Amino acid sequence: MNKYGRFGPLLGTIFVGNTHCKFLIFASRNAEVLTDYEVSLTQISIKPGWIEICPNEIWKSVVDCIQNATKNLKILDINIDDIVAIGITNQRETTIVWNKTTGTPLYNAIAWNDTRTDAILNKILTKIHNKKNYLKSVCGLPLSNCFSALKVVWLMENVCETKEVLQSNDLLFGTLDTWILWNLTGGVEGGIHVTDVTNASRTMLMNLESLQWDQNLCNFFRIPTKILPKIKSCSEIYGFVYDGPLQGVPIASCLGDQPASLLGQMCIQTSQATCTYNDSCFLMLNTGQEIIDSENGLLTTVGFKLGPKAKTFYALEGAVSNAGYGVSWLKDNMLLNVDVVKKPTSTISQSYLGESSVLSTFNSSSTLFDSTNSSNKTDVVFGKFHHLVAFTHHIGNMIHEANNPPLKVSFIYRVILGLNSQTSAVQVTLAAYEAICFQTRDLLESLAKDLPSWQRLVKLTVGGEFVESSFMLQLLADLCGITIERPQTTSPSCLGAMLASGVTMKLLAIDSSKSLFSPPLDAFHPVMCSTQRDLKYRRWKYAIMKCLRYNGNFTEISYEDRDPEMFVRNSIPGTVFLFTSIALLLATRFFQRT
């Protein structure tokens, strides 16, 4: 310790997502963030559903973040040489291919939520009789355009240069971590072509048990293994920074963003769970060394592996794409920017969805603000359904209901149900937040079904942009019936990568880090009664099915889509009238006799 400055040895973390890149520098002794620097990334969308990022911009942003963060260290009078290692955490599944001889990307990075591979996916599903889980027992994932394999297939089929470079044996594939690692370690000057188990597990090409590329999976997609990076653990020396202010510093960790968040939130024991709320919602449960095959739409994935010889921790994960986009759409497109501070106290209205409703289509994006409800006389159910994962945890374009045939979902209408002349902007805003909470409950219900012998979750640790809203977290606790804990952590995923680097450098031990690095937290306990909670949830599920079956014709909503309890409620007045009439008739006859 004496050879370092007043903060001791430092650890850096690179984070790269779909919208921004940043570099944080931590004091390893207490996980304090000493400085950081962030750069926005430009998303490119040349067609609907296509989402791309320039790989060169990504790399330039990483370099800029490192240079500016280290400059900040000098301003703080901290020696850059105190940085003993850096780690990487990144958005998973985003796919890049490049020429290893020239270092030139052959196409823009295709983002994880890009949908251009729908046609390829449907073609594959047709061949295997629509068995979406055809490969799930090996890779843990259903067939979906979210994962990297289909993106690579699209690149090889549609980008001529990719085919040419493949034939010359110069083609390399990688997710964001691989691209950054290759460039950090020299690029064309001997850059290392590697990835870690958490990123590899999201390609549909890695065997979950062996933690290596599976030849049968590669053959299925016709992807040559020679273009794939070497798979390593999350916590080991990957290589050394080739150039720049951190030249010679070891790269000591690499994890996908959600597994890193699982580690950063200290969910290091079996049955602990975390949920991240940004543009999307990701819930991840640590299942220890057990690989659990979900039968309820969850993904089986790698949580973390902290060393080449360390145990592998697996996880179940539920994903809700675009979970928070509706809130921003209301604010930016509909100008429903309602500033309120307290939690709504609402009651269930007597009017049910299906008796009178208004349907409205919309597009949306994402941001955050608080809202509350005054005089909540009308219940509104709000849904943002851009992909199937937006309203359930299933990834793909089929949804199965109990005792009902599967519904094909090629596109989804966005609906607001239950509007009337008394509906206020606050109520619609509240419903947008409720939709996020109900989608989280969907994931929790699936966990409970997949793990019937496990104790049901009693608390959920949360992170991300949206958790800055205490209002939303109280609403989440109420509608999910679970205690919500919000650690005062700036970036859980970056903290997780820092911890993994510290383990590699033998500066930290995970078991002792839990007490050392667990920050103060805010707890939100459910106060809503279970009857009200369950009724709201059932009504939201009903609204989802109405949206699914809506065919674009406002006048055609099938009878079976109506509220199943509506017949009973509608029959009450007639039944009361009938029995009252009979009673009056009998009373009249009785008095006539007397």
Q: Where are the domains of the chain?
A: 10-265+489-524, 564-593
- At 400, the pLDDT band (50, 70, 90 cuts) reads very low
Assess contact for 535 and 353: CB atoms under 8 A. Answer: no
CB 285 within 8 A of CB 447: yes
Burial of residue 543 (CB within 10 Å: 0-12, 13-18, 19+) is buried
Residues 231, 181: contact at Cβ < 8 Å?
Answer: no
Q: What share of the chain is helix, strand, coil (3-state, %, to 5)?
A: 35, 20, 45
Residue 53 pairs with which residues in a beta bridge? 43, 109
Burial class of residue 47 (count of CB atoms within 10 Å of its CB; 0-12, 13-18, 19+)? exposed
Q: What is the pLDDT of residues 414-440, one digit of tens each?
A: 567 777 788 777 788 888 888 889 999
Question: Which is it for the CA torsion 509, 513, 517, 519, positive or negative?
Answer: positive
- Which pLDDT value is given to residue 427? 80
CB within 8 A of 108, min separation 6: which ones? 44, 52, 53, 54, 55
pLDDT in tens, 258-278: 999 999 999 999 999 999 988
Q: Cα(550)–Cα(160) distance, rounded to whole angstroms?
A: 40
Q: Could you say which DSSP state residue 561 is in?
A: G
Confidence grade of residue 551 (pLDDT, cut at 50, 70, 90): low
Provide, rounded to the nearest whole percent, the portion of the chain with pLDDT above 90: 59
Say whether pLDDT at 141 is over 60.
Answer: yes
Question: Does residue 186 register a pLDDT over 70?
Answer: yes
- Count Cα neighbours of 285 within 13 Å in the Cβ-side half-sphere: 27
pLDDT band at 519 (very low <50, low <70, confident <90, very high): low
Q: How many CB atoms lie within 10 A of CB 441?
A: 20
Which band of pLDDT confidence, cut at 50, 70 and 90, is reported for residue 83? Answer: very high
Q: What angle do CA 85, 183, 49 make, to 5 degrees?
A: 110
Pair of tokens at residue 581: 């009439």
* pLDDT average, residue stretch 212-217: 97
Mean pLDDT of 174-195: 97
pLDDT grade for 541, boundaries at 50, 70 and 90: confident
d(CA 31, CA 10): 9
Min mean pLDDT across 81-85, 196-200, 336-340 is at: 336-340
- In the prediction, which pLDDT does 371 show? 34
Reported as a single tens digit per residue, the pLDDT across 223-248 is 999 999 999 999 999 999 999 999 99
Distance CA 108, CA 176 (A): 12
For the cut 70, the answer to whether the pLDDT of residue 560 exceeds it is no
pLDDT beyond 60 at 374: no
Contact 302, 315 (CB under 8 A): yes
315 contacts 301 by C-beta, under 8 angstroms: yes
The band of 66, judged by pLDDT with boundaries at 50, 70 and 90, is: very high
> Which tokens go with 137?
């027992």
Name the residue with tokens 């020696």.
Answer: 79
3-state secondary structure 427-483: HHHHHHHHHHHHHHHHHHHHHHHHCCCCCCCCEEEEECHHHHCHHHHHHHHHHHCCE
Tokens of 471: 């209002």
Question: Residue 383: what pLDDT?
Answer: 46
Mean pLDDT of 248-252: 97
Contact yes or no for 132/145 (Cβ under 8 A): no
Under the banding of pLDDT at 50, 70 and 90, the label for residue 585 is confident
Distant-in-sequence, close-in-space partners of 260: CB < 8 Å, separation ≥ 6: 89, 198, 304, 492, 493, 494, 495, 496, 497, 500
Q: How far apart are CA 88 and CA 425, in angstroms?
A: 42
How large is the average pLDDT for residues 516-535? 86
Q: What is the pLDDT of residue 592?
A: 82
Mean pLDDT score across all residues of the chain: 82
The residue among 288 and 566 whose pLDDT is bigger is 288
Structure tokens at 3: 């050879």
What's 206's DSSP letter? B
Taking CA atoms, 569 is separated from 434, 521, 530, 566, 576, in Å, by 25, 45, 22, 5, 11
Is the pLDDT reported for residue 408 higher than 70?
A: no
pLDDT score recorded for residue 572: 80
The answer to whether residue 583 scores a pLDDT higher than 90 is no
Residue that wins the pLDDT comparison between 167 and 549: 167
DSSP structure class, residue 15: E
**Cα separation of 268 and 266, whole Å?**
5
Q: Give 26-64 pLDDT, tens digit per residue.
A: 999 888 999 999 999 999 999 998 999 999 999 999 999
As a whole number of angstroms, the distance between CA 270 and CA 268 comes to: 7
For residue 430, the number of C-alpha atoms closer than 13 Å in the C-beta half-sphere is 25
Q: What is the average per-residue pLDDT within 576-587?
A: 85
Q: Tell me which DSSP letter residue 421 carries.
A: T
Distance, in Å, from the CA atom of 382 to the CA atom of 366, rounded to the nearest integer, reads 15
pLDDT recorded at residue 353:
38
Domain boundaries 10-265+489-524, CATH class: alpha beta
Distance between CA atoms of residues 552 and 546, nearest Å: 12
Q: Is residue 314 a contact partner of residue 335, using CB atoms and an 8 Å limit?
A: no
Distances (CA, A) of 411 to 126, 130, 319, 406: 19, 18, 18, 15
Identify the band that residue 558 occupies on the pLDDT scale cut at 50, 70 and 90: very low
The CA–CA distances, whole Å, from 451 to 212, 283, 287 equal: 27, 15, 10
For CA atoms 313, 316, 321, 322, give the dihedral sign: negative
Give tens-digit pLDDT for 308-357.
999 999 999 998 877 777 776 777 677 776 554 444 444 333 333 333 33
Lowest mean pLDDT among 77-81, 301-305, 432-436, 534-538: 432-436
Residue 72: CB atoms within 10 A of its CB come to 16
